[in-house]
Structure 1
Amino acid sequence: MKAVVLAAGKGTRLRPLTDDKPKGMVEVADKPLITHCFDQLIDLGADELIVVVGYMKEVIIDHYGDEYEGVPITYTHQREQKGLAHALLTVEEHIDDDFMLILGDNIFQANLQDVVRRQREDRADAAFLVEEVPWEDASRYGVCDTNQYGEITDVVEKPEDPPSNLVMTGFYTFSPAIFHACHLVQPSNRDEYEISDAIDLLIQSGRTIDAIGLDGWRIDVGYPEDRDEAERRLTGDDDADADGDDSDADAVVESDA
């Protein structure tokens, strides 16, 4: 199964850690975020890594070259950061079967294999991990509802009034049907082409979408303090502090492009 890594973002919320690198190259436990993704995807059986690059793409390409641990790497270029559905369309010509998708700024210690197994056994059109978060945090994510069979029935991106506190994480499997849905997506009120809207189109067309509850933990490394927390969890070092730099607390806070 091929695996797609989305790594085109600027990481403006991670400044100053991203002043000289894209956010996927920010190190956690002495390895770039993308390397953590690669290691997990290869453990899950990935036979090709397709990396969507954009901001400072040369840093990523020069670092990894055309393979990692013997697995070939293909790069696609998202010239403008217009959302995850927009990024996903850059890989369409390289995909002809079910595939994995991971957001390149997420760290997982969780049951990713359950998602891959569900895709292979049930031939779902999409499957992904979901987790319950505090209600006050739900509006930061793609929020979803499920039926009694664990199938997603509704998805809405970063709603002001979340219908639930069940949110999508950054790991998915899809059939190629997702590309048709991405082509149909219209810009959101953030002027982005949202992956949640593409998934919702699949739902409305009667496709099978499965939700698997998170067993373990994951961290979306969006801010310097998230990197510090991921470092602590991976190393077991409660005193770990990114680069020992107290200035992280004063990092510029912006929306990623």
Structure 2
Amino acid sequence: MNGDNVFTGSVAPAVEGVAEEDAALAVEEVSPAVTATTGVIETDETECVTGIVEKPTEPSTLVTTGCYVLPEDVFHACALLRPSVEDEYQLSEAVRLLMRAGYEVATVRVGGRVNVNTPADVERAAELVRGE
């Protein structure tokens, strides 16, 4: 789980989603404006992940929440990664490698999340937790 996310609800459904698939990503519906700043999820008709696009140019509404339930083999996938143009290692790339290796990745929808990056986000997260 990304350390800069605050959830009001439980992410247990994402963990439980692994019982049916090899891995699970907690996802949420957001406005197209938000998708330019995060990873967009592409799914098939069963809601399994078929692709992840980081900071896309084309709007979508299903995005990662930073909560991943992944098999131990993700560490092998991470060892194969190369830095992005921003000199960062992208977890989404490791998930793509797992999918290419045949792993099924389910999506589990969650709501009530704030990605905390600014002082305003801290206040929004506090309001979310207080139920305001």
* Letter paired with 1:127: A
Moved more, 104-113 or 173-182: 104-113
Given that 1:126 and 1:173 are in contact with CA atoms closer than 8 Å, whether structure 2 keeps it comes out as yes
Structure with the bigger RCO (C-alpha within 8 Å, sep 6+) is 2
The CA deviation string for residues 160-210 of structure 1, in whole angstroms up to 9 with x for no partner, is x13622110021111111111111112112111100111111112221111
Aligned twin of 1:118: 17
Shift of 1:111: 4.0
TM-score by length of 2: 0.91
- Decide which structure has greater helix share: 1
Query: Deviation at 1:141?
Result: 0.6
Q: Are 2:117 and 1:234 equivalent residues in the alignment?
A: no
Q: Structure 2 CA distance, aligned partners of 1:213 and 1:153? A: 16
Equivalent in the alignment of 2:35: 138
Partner letter of residue 141 of structure 1?
T
Give the equivalent residue in structure 1 for 2:61. Answer: 165
Question: 1:222 matched to which residue of 2?
Answer: 117
1:103 aligned counterpart, secondary structure:
coil
Q: CA RMSD in A?
A: 1.5
Q: Give the Å deviation of 1:236.
A: 4.2
Task: Say whether 1:103 aligns with 2:2.
Answer: yes
Aligned residues: 132
User: 1:149 aligned to 2:54?
Assistant: no
CA distance in 2, matches of 1:196, 1:142: 8
Any unmatched runs of 5+ in structure 2? none
Q: Distance in 2 between matches of 1:144 and 1:191?
A: 22
Q: Distance in 1 between matches of 2:123 and 2:59?
A: 31
Alignment of 1:13-92 (within 5 A): none
